[in-house]
Structure 1
């Protein structure tokens, strides 16, 4: 594949982003989630990135604000959800570049912790590790190995424990499938 580039989404991208998510997942749950997060204001424009190839959006990554809550702390974090690549461009490095650029953008904006519910052999290459082993728990039933956390700066997870709190759209759109 010739080169593609990554940039923040613009309003004109929204229909294409919906289509990429729909195609990548074979159903509209993730596409509806992104739409609901935008509509609810649980949206960081600089953390909704698209991969563009020949003026066409071929991939998308979205990070939403969340928190890790315990009795004595409320720690801000972001959730990587979803990551999608058009079927004809999968397994060509597009998803990896989106994750790398997304994590870089998170760091540049001062975020310290990223949570993902994802494939246990894919995300560790980017620094993700199983969250429950560190005392960070999902608020919904899911297998431990798919609930992961990535510290973006050294020491970001020191003393952090609790349950992740997602925006209401995650519950409403049924996006929690582990």
Structure 2
């Protein structure tokens, strides 16, 4: 498969069953599909960015970015959380996740988003510009993360000037604001 043949586009409500199928197959369970369903229905997650990667008419990947806030900053800078990123098993390790991240970041930059967070694989996301140990950088997650997973809570600025950027605890969308989602 050539990445040039993969088409990334915004997911619509008509794509809901394809999104759910990608999430279920990618993770082999219902948890992430349920989270995505809840986030897509959560007004506190809006405006979200939901993207589908398609190859030869088949939905093979999905990524979701939802609105977040920095507590103590008034107004809060524009921040988002990436959760989840899902690729069907037959298409994993072929660059589709990176393609979805890049397109998501491009759209978020156009929206004026300044900072993106992710709780994810510490080997994977740094390859796409994320820096680990976001809490040490001044951005505690919504729930405590075990110290052995501190470098899995990551951040990436989408703006060039970050010297005086506000710090603060990240407040996520209500659907994501559950302790079970903050365990690696």
Comparing 68-77 with 132-141, greater Cα deviation is found at 68-77
1:144 Cα deviation from its structure 2 partner: 1.2
Kindly provide the CA deviation profile for residues 83-138 of structure 1, in whole angstroms up to 9, marking residues without a partner as x.
00000000111111011111111111111110100111111122211212211111
CA distance in 2, matches of 1:24, 1:76: 29
* Partner residue of 1:176 out of 173, 177, 182: 182
State the Cα RMSD in Å: 1.8
CA distance in 2, matches of 1:49, 1:75: 23
1:166 Cα deviation from its structure 2 partner: 0.8
Cα 1:71–1:102 change in 2 (3 A) is: closer
More strand by share: 1
Check whether the contact 2:143–2:179 (CA below 8 A) recurs between aligned residues: no
Structure 1 spans left out of the alignment, 5+ residues: none
* Partner residue of 1:57 out of 56, 59, 63: 59
SS at match of 2:169: strand
1:167 pairs with 2:169:
no
2:135 match: 132
Using the size of structure 1 for normalisation, the TM-score is 0.91
1:74 Cα deviation from its structure 2 partner: 3.0
Aligned length: 177
CA distance in 2, matches of 1:74, 1:49: 25
